[in-house]
Amino acid sequence: MTGTLTAHYAYLATLPSWAADHGIAPGDADRYVRSLFQGVGRSLGDEARSLDRLAADHETPNGNNERDCRCAASRGMLVCGR
């Protein structure tokens, strides 16, 4: 499982780069992504909720998170909505 960490950080690194390419100041984009995922990291400490529940709790019905998960699932990249 530790072999997924580099891919995870590489994914995170693409987010501020994408935002900067779309007009967000690079420093602002970096701070936003770090802040967002620090919050996600804190939510992992809530062991009363399963990881599947945490994922579902971050979705708005038919919102970006749900659509992105379905899209990735349709390509065999992950499983959504367990």
Residue-wise DSSP of 42-66: HHTT-TTS-HHHHHHHT--TTSHHH
For 67, phi then psi, to 5°, come to -65, -40
19/24 Cα distance (integer angstroms): 5
Where are the strands (E) in the chain, listed by range?
none
- Label residue 68 by pLDDT band (50, 70, 90): confident
Give the mean model confidence (pLDDT) for residues 27-48: 94
Question: Does residue 10 have a pLDDT over 70?
Answer: yes
Structure tokens at 13: 């690194």
Give the mean model confidence (pLDDT) for residues 37-61: 90
Question: In the chain, what are the domain boundaries?
Answer: 1-45, 47-82
Q: What is the pLDDT of residue 76?
A: 87
Q: What is the pLDDT of residue 82?
A: 58
